[in-house]
Chain A
Amino acid sequence: MTLSSRRPASRLATPVPAENGSNGQRNSVVLGPNDRLVGELYIEGDLRVAGTVEGNLEATGDIEIAGAGKVNGDVTAYNRLTVGSDASLIAGDVRVARLTVADGAKFSGKVSMGKVAVEPSKPAEPEPVLVEATPVAKPVPVKPVSVKTEPVKPVPVKAVPVKPVAAKPAAVKPFEQKGKRR
Protein backbone atom coordinates (compact mmCIF):
# COMPACT_ATOMS: atom_id res chain seq x y z
CA MET A 1 0.00 0.00 0.00
CA THR A 2 1.35 3.30 -0.97
CA LEU A 3 0.53 6.58 0.52
CA SER A 4 -1.34 8.68 -1.91
CA SER A 5 -1.58 12.38 -1.85
CA ARG A 6 -5.12 12.26 -3.13
CA ARG A 7 -7.88 13.17 -0.73
CA PRO A 8 -9.94 10.23 0.42
CA ALA A 9 -13.24 9.83 -1.33
CA SER A 10 -15.16 10.76 1.77
CA ARG A 11 -13.65 14.20 1.75
CA LEU A 12 -14.90 14.92 -1.69
CA ALA A 13 -17.80 17.27 -2.04
CA THR A 14 -20.50 15.78 0.13
CA PRO A 15 -24.11 16.34 -0.79
CA VAL A 16 -25.27 19.54 0.77
CA PRO A 17 -28.11 19.09 3.25
CA ALA A 18 -30.06 21.68 1.29
CA GLU A 19 -30.97 18.87 -1.07
CA ASN A 20 -33.05 17.38 1.68
CA GLY A 21 -35.11 20.47 1.75
CA SER A 22 -34.05 21.55 5.18
CA ASN A 23 -32.90 24.91 3.96
CA GLY A 24 -35.63 27.45 3.71
CA GLN A 25 -38.34 24.82 3.94
CA ARG A 26 -40.29 23.60 6.90
CA ASN A 27 -38.59 21.13 9.11
CA SER A 28 -39.90 17.62 8.69
CA VAL A 29 -39.28 14.55 10.78
CA VAL A 30 -40.11 11.03 9.72
CA LEU A 31 -40.28 7.98 11.92
CA GLY A 32 -40.16 4.96 9.67
CA PRO A 33 -41.98 1.65 10.12
CA ASN A 34 -39.12 0.19 12.13
CA ASP A 35 -38.57 3.27 14.23
CA ARG A 36 -39.73 3.54 17.77
CA LEU A 37 -39.94 6.48 20.10
CA VAL A 38 -40.57 6.34 23.82
CA GLY A 39 -40.85 9.72 25.43
CA GLU A 40 -41.81 13.19 24.34
CA LEU A 41 -41.21 14.87 21.05
CA TYR A 42 -41.63 18.50 20.11
CA ILE A 43 -41.10 19.44 16.50
CA GLU A 44 -41.04 22.84 14.92
CA GLY A 45 -42.42 21.61 11.66
CA ASP A 46 -44.13 18.49 10.40
CA LEU A 47 -44.00 14.97 11.72
CA ARG A 48 -44.80 11.73 9.99
CA VAL A 49 -45.07 8.59 12.04
CA ALA A 50 -45.11 5.19 10.42
CA GLY A 51 -43.52 3.48 13.40
CA THR A 52 -44.41 3.25 17.05
CA VAL A 53 -44.59 6.10 19.51
CA GLU A 54 -45.25 5.78 23.19
CA GLY A 55 -45.41 9.26 24.54
CA ASN A 56 -46.57 12.72 23.72
CA LEU A 57 -46.14 14.41 20.38
CA GLU A 58 -46.34 18.09 19.61
CA ALA A 59 -45.68 19.71 16.27
CA THR A 60 -46.11 23.27 15.06
CA GLY A 61 -47.10 21.98 11.64
CA ASP A 62 -48.86 18.80 10.60
CA ILE A 63 -48.72 15.37 12.15
CA GLU A 64 -49.46 12.35 10.04
CA ILE A 65 -49.81 8.89 11.45
CA ALA A 66 -49.38 6.84 8.35
CA GLY A 67 -49.06 3.25 7.29
CA ALA A 68 -49.19 0.98 10.28
CA GLY A 69 -48.07 3.77 12.58
CA LYS A 70 -49.09 3.53 16.21
CA VAL A 71 -49.19 6.37 18.65
CA ASN A 72 -50.03 5.94 22.28
CA GLY A 73 -50.04 9.33 23.95
CA ASP A 74 -51.23 12.90 23.70
CA VAL A 75 -51.01 14.57 20.34
CA THR A 76 -50.92 18.29 19.66
CA ALA A 77 -50.70 19.57 16.12
CA TYR A 78 -50.94 23.30 15.61
CA ASN A 79 -52.17 22.62 12.14
CA ARG A 80 -53.46 19.28 10.96
CA LEU A 81 -53.55 15.72 12.24
CA THR A 82 -54.07 12.90 9.79
CA VAL A 83 -54.65 9.33 10.88
CA GLY A 84 -54.33 6.79 8.11
CA SER A 85 -56.56 3.80 7.56
CA ASP A 86 -54.15 1.29 9.07
CA ALA A 87 -52.85 3.64 11.72
CA SER A 88 -53.74 3.78 15.35
CA LEU A 89 -53.96 6.64 17.80
CA ILE A 90 -54.84 5.85 21.37
CA ALA A 91 -54.59 9.16 23.08
CA GLY A 92 -55.48 10.98 26.19
CA ASP A 93 -55.75 14.41 24.63
CA VAL A 94 -55.82 15.29 20.96
CA ARG A 95 -55.49 19.00 20.32
CA VAL A 96 -55.47 19.96 16.70
CA ALA A 97 -56.63 22.70 14.40
CA ARG A 98 -57.75 20.28 11.71
CA LEU A 99 -58.36 16.57 11.82
CA THR A 100 -58.70 13.86 9.25
CA VAL A 101 -59.36 10.27 10.23
CA ALA A 102 -59.52 7.64 7.53
CA ASP A 103 -62.03 4.81 7.70
CA GLY A 104 -60.38 1.84 9.33
CA ALA A 105 -58.16 3.82 11.63
CA LYS A 106 -58.13 3.08 15.33
CA PHE A 107 -58.77 6.30 17.11
CA SER A 108 -59.72 7.19 20.64
CA GLY A 109 -59.16 10.05 23.00
CA LYS A 110 -60.46 13.45 23.92
CA VAL A 111 -60.52 15.65 20.88
CA SER A 112 -60.30 19.43 21.06
CA MET A 113 -60.38 21.17 17.74
CA GLY A 114 -59.99 24.62 16.33
CA LYS A 115 -57.41 27.31 16.63
CA VAL A 116 -58.58 28.01 20.15
CA ALA A 117 -57.77 24.49 21.25
CA VAL A 118 -54.24 24.71 20.04
CA GLU A 119 -53.23 28.28 20.76
CA PRO A 120 -53.10 28.17 24.56
CA SER A 121 -50.68 25.29 24.49
CA LYS A 122 -48.03 27.42 22.89
CA PRO A 123 -46.67 29.27 25.88
CA ALA A 124 -47.45 26.78 28.59
CA GLU A 125 -49.80 23.84 28.53
CA PRO A 126 -51.13 24.15 32.07
CA GLU A 127 -53.10 27.24 32.83
CA PRO A 128 -50.83 29.98 33.95
CA VAL A 129 -50.54 29.85 37.68
CA LEU A 130 -51.26 33.31 38.86
CA VAL A 131 -48.87 33.99 41.60
CA GLU A 132 -50.72 36.47 43.70
CA ALA A 133 -48.60 39.27 44.78
CA THR A 134 -50.08 39.39 48.25
CA PRO A 135 -47.25 40.07 50.53
CA VAL A 136 -47.56 37.60 53.36
CA ALA A 137 -45.73 39.89 55.69
CA LYS A 138 -44.89 43.38 54.80
CA PRO A 139 -41.27 43.70 54.79
CA VAL A 140 -40.71 46.25 57.51
CA PRO A 141 -38.22 48.66 56.28
CA VAL A 142 -35.36 48.06 58.51
CA LYS A 143 -34.20 51.33 59.93
CA PRO A 144 -30.62 51.66 59.60
CA VAL A 145 -29.81 51.75 63.24
CA SER A 146 -27.26 54.41 63.41
CA VAL A 147 -24.68 52.86 65.51
CA LYS A 148 -22.72 55.68 66.88
CA THR A 149 -19.33 54.66 66.39
CA GLU A 150 -17.56 56.55 69.05
CA PRO A 151 -14.12 57.05 68.16
CA VAL A 152 -12.27 55.03 70.66
CA LYS A 153 -10.13 57.43 72.45
CA PRO A 154 -6.76 56.17 72.49
CA VAL A 155 -6.05 55.84 76.12
CA PRO A 156 -2.85 57.62 76.43
CA VAL A 157 -0.60 55.12 77.82
CA LYS A 158 1.63 57.09 79.99
CA ALA A 159 4.90 56.03 79.04
CA VAL A 160 6.64 56.12 82.31
CA PRO A 161 10.02 57.18 81.41
CA VAL A 162 12.27 54.75 82.89
CA LYS A 163 14.86 56.81 84.51
CA PRO A 164 18.02 55.70 83.29
CA VAL A 165 19.80 54.76 86.42
CA ALA A 166 22.86 56.65 86.06
CA ALA A 167 25.36 54.24 86.98
CA LYS A 168 27.52 56.30 89.07
CA PRO A 169 30.95 55.29 88.71
CA ALA A 170 31.68 54.21 92.17
CA ALA A 171 34.19 56.50 93.45
CA VAL A 172 37.02 54.40 94.11
CA LYS A 173 38.89 55.69 96.95
CA PRO A 174 42.30 56.26 95.97
CA PHE A 175 44.35 53.74 97.65
CA GLU A 176 46.57 55.41 100.11
CA GLN A 177 49.92 54.59 99.51
CA LYS A 178 51.52 54.08 102.81
CA GLY A 179 54.80 52.83 101.98
CA LYS A 180 55.94 56.01 100.49
CA ARG A 181 57.04 57.57 103.58
CA ARG A 182 59.22 54.89 104.56
Chain B
Amino acid sequence: MDVQEAVTEGTASVDNGEVKRDGRKQFSMGPSDILEGKLIYDGSVHADGRVEGEVRVSGNIDVASGANVKALLEGANVTLKGQVEGMVTARDKLTLGKNARLSGDIQVRRLQIDDGATLNGHVRMGDFEQQASGQ
Protein backbone atom coordinates (compact mmCIF):
# COMPACT_ATOMS: atom_id res chain seq x y z
CA MET B 1 0.00 0.00 0.00
CA ASP B 2 1.10 3.47 -0.55
CA VAL B 3 0.06 7.07 -0.36
CA GLN B 4 -3.02 7.84 -2.36
CA GLU B 5 -4.49 11.24 -2.95
CA ALA B 6 -2.40 12.61 -0.17
CA VAL B 7 -1.51 16.26 -0.22
CA THR B 8 1.03 17.55 2.18
CA GLU B 9 1.87 21.16 2.72
CA GLY B 10 4.27 22.93 4.99
CA THR B 11 7.78 22.11 5.90
CA ALA B 12 7.72 18.34 5.69
CA SER B 13 7.18 16.38 2.55
CA VAL B 14 6.30 12.74 2.37
CA ASP B 15 9.95 11.96 1.78
CA ASN B 16 11.47 13.66 4.72
CA GLY B 17 8.43 12.93 6.83
CA GLU B 18 8.93 9.24 6.41
CA VAL B 19 11.35 7.67 8.79
CA LYS B 20 12.14 4.08 9.45
CA ARG B 21 11.86 2.84 12.95
CA ASP B 22 12.36 -0.74 13.99
CA GLY B 23 12.19 -1.70 10.36
CA ARG B 24 8.72 -0.24 10.02
CA LYS B 25 7.84 2.85 8.13
CA GLN B 26 6.58 5.85 9.96
CA PHE B 27 4.89 8.82 8.42
CA SER B 28 5.59 11.76 10.66
CA MET B 29 3.99 15.17 10.51
CA GLY B 30 5.07 18.37 12.17
CA PRO B 31 2.92 20.95 13.97
CA SER B 32 2.57 23.13 10.89
CA ASP B 33 1.88 20.32 8.43
CA ILE B 34 -1.42 19.83 6.71
CA LEU B 35 -2.78 16.60 5.30
CA GLU B 36 -5.96 16.66 3.29
CA GLY B 37 -7.42 13.62 1.58
CA LYS B 38 -7.10 9.92 2.00
CA LEU B 39 -3.98 8.24 3.29
CA ILE B 40 -3.62 4.49 3.25
CA TYR B 41 -0.26 3.60 4.65
CA ASP B 42 1.66 0.47 5.50
CA GLY B 43 3.33 1.68 8.64
CA SER B 44 2.63 4.07 11.44
CA VAL B 45 1.53 7.68 11.37
CA HIS B 46 2.36 10.47 13.73
CA ALA B 47 -0.25 13.11 13.05
CA ASP B 48 0.31 16.71 13.97
CA GLY B 49 -0.80 20.00 12.54
CA ARG B 50 -4.03 19.63 10.63
CA VAL B 51 -5.47 16.46 9.13
CA GLU B 52 -8.66 16.23 7.14
CA GLY B 53 -10.07 13.20 5.38
CA GLU B 54 -9.25 9.61 6.06
CA VAL B 55 -6.22 7.84 7.47
CA ARG B 56 -5.98 4.05 7.42
CA VAL B 57 -2.75 2.44 8.49
CA SER B 58 -1.49 -1.04 9.18
CA GLY B 59 0.51 0.17 12.16
CA ASN B 60 -0.24 2.72 14.81
CA ILE B 61 -1.63 6.21 14.72
CA ASP B 62 -0.80 8.79 17.27
CA VAL B 63 -2.23 12.25 17.24
CA ALA B 64 -0.10 14.92 18.88
CA SER B 65 -1.51 17.22 21.53
CA GLY B 66 -1.59 20.28 19.31
CA ALA B 67 -3.08 18.50 16.32
CA ASN B 68 -6.48 19.19 14.87
CA VAL B 69 -7.90 16.16 13.10
CA LYS B 70 -11.16 15.92 11.24
CA ALA B 71 -10.87 12.49 9.77
CA LEU B 72 -11.69 8.85 9.91
CA LEU B 73 -8.84 7.12 11.66
CA GLU B 74 -8.05 3.44 11.57
CA GLY B 75 -5.00 1.77 13.00
CA ALA B 76 -3.83 -1.03 15.22
CA ASN B 77 -3.10 1.11 18.24
CA VAL B 78 -4.47 4.62 18.18
CA THR B 79 -3.28 7.17 20.69
CA LEU B 80 -4.98 10.53 20.83
CA LYS B 81 -3.61 13.53 22.65
CA GLY B 82 -5.10 16.26 20.54
CA GLN B 83 -8.46 17.18 19.15
CA VAL B 84 -10.16 14.68 16.87
CA GLU B 85 -13.47 14.80 15.10
CA GLY B 86 -14.49 11.65 13.30
CA MET B 87 -14.86 7.93 13.58
CA VAL B 88 -11.95 6.09 15.14
CA THR B 89 -11.24 2.40 14.79
CA ALA B 90 -8.51 0.74 16.78
CA ARG B 91 -7.96 -2.87 15.87
CA ASP B 92 -6.19 -3.29 19.14
CA LYS B 93 -6.23 -0.40 21.56
CA LEU B 94 -7.39 3.18 21.66
CA THR B 95 -5.89 5.51 24.21
CA LEU B 96 -7.27 8.92 24.99
CA GLY B 97 -4.64 11.02 26.70
CA LYS B 98 -5.52 13.58 29.32
CA ASN B 99 -5.76 16.42 26.83
CA ALA B 100 -7.54 14.45 24.13
CA ARG B 101 -10.87 15.65 22.84
CA LEU B 102 -12.67 13.18 20.66
CA SER B 103 -16.08 13.56 19.17
CA GLY B 104 -17.06 10.63 17.04
CA ASP B 105 -17.95 7.00 17.29
CA ILE B 106 -15.25 4.58 18.22
CA GLN B 107 -14.77 0.90 17.66
CA VAL B 108 -12.05 -0.74 19.65
CA ARG B 109 -10.83 -3.96 21.13
CA ARG B 110 -9.34 -2.29 24.17
CA LEU B 111 -9.92 1.17 25.48
CA GLN B 112 -8.13 3.41 27.90
CA ILE B 113 -9.35 6.84 28.78
CA ASP B 114 -7.17 9.00 30.98
CA ASP B 115 -8.65 11.46 33.41
CA GLY B 116 -9.12 14.79 31.70
CA ALA B 117 -9.94 13.39 28.27
CA THR B 118 -13.22 14.26 26.64
CA LEU B 119 -15.25 11.81 24.61
CA ASN B 120 -18.57 12.27 22.87
CA GLY B 121 -19.79 9.40 20.78
CA HIS B 122 -20.73 5.78 20.65
CA VAL B 123 -18.30 3.21 21.96
CA ARG B 124 -18.32 -0.28 20.55
CA MET B 125 -15.99 -2.84 21.94
CA GLY B 126 -15.32 -6.31 20.67
CA ASP B 127 -14.56 -8.14 17.45
CA PHE B 128 -14.95 -6.25 14.23
CA GLU B 129 -12.34 -7.90 12.03
CA GLN B 130 -14.64 -8.40 9.10
CA GLN B 131 -15.24 -4.75 8.42
CA ALA B 132 -12.19 -3.03 9.81
CA SER B 133 -9.24 -4.77 8.19
CA GLY B 134 -10.77 -5.58 4.87
CA GLN B 135 -9.28 -2.64 2.99
Contact = CB atoms under 8 A, between A and B. Distances in A.
Interface of A: 80, 98-114, 117
A113 B118 contact: yes
Contacts of A117: 120
Closest A-B pairs by Cβ, 4 of them: A101-B113, A103-B112, A100-B115, A108-B125
B20 interface: no
B46 interface: no
Interface residues of B, number: 19
Contacts of B118: 113-114
Interface in B34-60: none
A108 B115 contact: no
A110 B122 CA distance: 4
A110 B104 CA distance: 10
B10 interface: no
B112 A102 contact: yes
B110 A108 contact: no
Given A98-B116, A100-B113, A110-B123, 6 more contacts: A99-B113, A105-B111, A111-B122, A111-B123, A114-B120, A117-B120
